[in-house]
Amino acid sequence: MYGPESGGDFALDFDQEGTFTGGTLVASGYAGMVETLDSEFPSLMAGLPQSAGSNVQIEQNGKSLLSFTPTHAFEVLLVYDGQFQTGDSLSVLGESVTLSQGVNTIGNVQEGPGPQGGFGNPQPPRR
């Protein structure tokens, strides 16, 4: 899933919260509005900017998980997979991480403000 080409947007945009329950999701975009999902599976956030047309390969435990050629430039790549387990090794564009529970990061990642509910309309705190 490719995000918009404007500098402040990301492929995922939702109010309050989003949940990943299985399958595979790869989302890309710009760091200013990165929103992550709640998940019982470990996930990856890679701050490895790429231009459109570059080849991106993701490996899991030394084997190819997927390869794609983005149609848009991006700063951040999010990867969720229902088969990811704590202790798995993931490699993206020459950077590697051993997964622990939650969102694992590689590269230079400065996550945006998260779910806001839109400009000028922040959501009240949850109780």
Query: Which residue matches tokens 């509910």?
Result: 117
The span from the CA of 79 to the CA of 84, in Å, is: 10
The answer to whether residues 42 and 111 touch, using CB atoms and an 8 Å cutoff, is no
Q: Phi and psi (nearest 5°) for 31?
A: -65, -25
Sequence-distant (6+) residues with CB within 8 A of 46 are 76, 77, 78, 79, 92, 93, 95, 105, 106, 107, 109
Write the pLDDT tens digit of every residue in 42-54. 999 999 999 999 9
Q: Who has greater pLDDT, 118 or 73?
A: 73
Q: Who has greater pLDDT, 98 or 29?
A: 98
pTM of the predicted protein model: 0.78
Write the pLDDT tens digit of every residue in 3-25. 666 666 777 777 778 899 999 99
